[in-house]
């Protein structure tokens, strides 16, 4: 269980209804939600990323069965497909460490707008380009460099003992070349870091009013989130524009 699951769950609120996790990966958070809340949980992910590991599907199936979540509640789709859920059928959409992997954010946000009920909302916890240390490799600025500079940066910082290389060497017997090659490819092909402002703009253009929140216990104020975004992931909460207008949300 990841340390932020309980915080995300608290932010979702102690309600009932349908919740859809986008980018459910191994199904860890989905099963956490099923065990610790009264939400009716649904999940989805794409074949091109999480699904490209051969045994992933069976690991996910096993985990869902253990948590007594019906398998049909976790949908696999292709990148760019519409979300495989009815329009206006979901109370809450949630994603964890996923938006920085989504290639077409505009498409995804439009789909979230479509599947949410009128008074529904979405909560995303993810790192933006403002973060100083790439959270995947643990190496400063690795997510901001082109491939050539990144390979050098990954090797340089790893030799200094900075980042995740030591752990990968100890636990998975990686050598430096393998670490540099894999993380360079991962960041190049599977990461799409964006600025806070770009995420907010895409959200607004998709009909979703968005609000920035730093991780609790920090005060839920957007300028605090902007500072904190240099060091850790932040939250974006979205509401359908019509509903936000109705509620007077800023
Ligand atoms: C770093 S993993 C996070 C997985 C999980 N949320 C967790 O916290 O353990 C990012 C996930 O986003 C998924 N993803 C990327 N693009 C997506 C998209 N367009 N729609 C749904 N999921 C996507 C990937 O397949 C991957 O499982």
Over 143-174, what HEC string results? Answer: HHCCHHHHHHHHHHHHHCCCCCHHHHHHHHCC
Residues 112-140 have a mean pLDDT of 98
Q: Is residue 206, in this structure, part of any structural domain at all?
A: yes
Q: What is the pLDDT of residue 50?
A: 64
Range of the domain at 10: 5-129+193-247
CA distances to 35, 61, 107, 112 from 11, in Å? 17, 27, 25, 18
Asked if 70 contacts 98 with a C-beta cutoff of 8 angstroms, the reply is: no
Q: Is residue 86, in this structure, part of any structural domain at all?
A: yes
Q: What is the pLDDT of residue 2?
A: 87
Which stretch, 1-15, 54-68, 218-232, has highest mean pLDDT?
Answer: 218-232
Ligand 1 atom with the smallest distance to the CA of 79 is 19
User: If 0-12 CB within 10 Å is exposed, 13-18 middle and 19+ buried, where does residue 153 land?
Assistant: buried
Q: What is the pLDDT of residue 249?
A: 55
Between helix 176-190 and helix 165-172 the angle, nearest 10°, is 120
Q: What is the CATH number of the domain that holds 51?
A: 3.40.50.150
d(Cα 159, Cα 185) in Å, to the nearest integer? 19
Q: Best substitution site from 8, 22, 23 to test ligand 1's pocket, by max atoms within 8 Å of Cβ?
A: 23
Give percent of the chain with pLDDT exceeding 70. 98
Residues 182-207 have a mean pLDDT of 97
C-alpha 98 to ligand 1 mean position (Å): 4
Q: Is the pLDDT of residue 178 over 80?
A: yes
The predicted-structure confidence for 7-43, as pLDDT tens digits, reads as follows: 999 999 978 999 999 999 999 999 999 999 999 999 9
- Nearest residue to 102 via CA among 55, 169, 48: 48
Q: What is the pTM of this model?
A: 0.95
Binding site membership of 215 for ligand 1 (Cβ less than 6 Å): no
- The whole-chain average pLDDT of the chain stands at 95
3-state secondary structure of 102: coil
Binding site membership of 33 for ligand 1 (Cβ less than 6 Å): no
Binding site membership of 25 for ligand 1 (Cβ less than 6 Å): yes
Q: Is the pLDDT of residue 176 over 70?
A: yes
How many separate domains does the chain show? Answer: 2
Residues in the chain: 250
Asked if 33 contacts 21 with a C-beta cutoff of 8 angstroms, the reply is: yes
Q: Is residue 136, in this structure, part of any structural domain at all?
A: no
């Amino acid at each position: 269980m990841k340390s932020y699951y309980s915080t995300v769950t608290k932010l979702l609120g102690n309600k009932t209804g349908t919740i859809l996790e986008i980018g459910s990966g191994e199904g860890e958070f989905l099963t956490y939600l099923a065990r610790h809340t009264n939400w009716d949980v649904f999940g989805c992910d794409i074949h091109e990323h999480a699904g490209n590991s051969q045994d992933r599907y069976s690991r996910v199936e096993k985990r869902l069965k253990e948590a007594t979540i019906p398998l049909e509640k976790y949908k696999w789709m292709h990148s760019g497909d519409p979300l495989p859920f009815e329009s206006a059928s979901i109370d809450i959409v949630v994603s964890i460490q996923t938006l920085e992997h989504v290639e077409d954010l505009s498409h995804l946000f439009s789909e979230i707008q479509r599947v949410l009920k009128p008074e529904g909302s979405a909560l995303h916890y993810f790192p933006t380009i403002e973060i100083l240390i790439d959270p995947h490799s643990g190496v400063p600025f690795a997510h901001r460099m082109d491939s050539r500079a990144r390979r050098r940066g990954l090797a340089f910082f790893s030799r200094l003992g900075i980042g995740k290389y030591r752990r990968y060497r100890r636990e998975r017997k990686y050598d430096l070349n393998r670490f540099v090659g894999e993380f360079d490819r991962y960041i190049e092909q599977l990461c799409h870091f964006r600025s806070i402002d770009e995420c907010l703009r895409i959200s607004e253009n998709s009909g979703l009013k968005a609000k920035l929140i730093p991780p609790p216990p920090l005060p839920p104020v957007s300028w605090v989130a902007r500072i904190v975004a240099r060091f850790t992931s932040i939250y974006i909460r979205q509401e359908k524009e019509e509903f936000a207008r109705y509620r007077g949300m800023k």
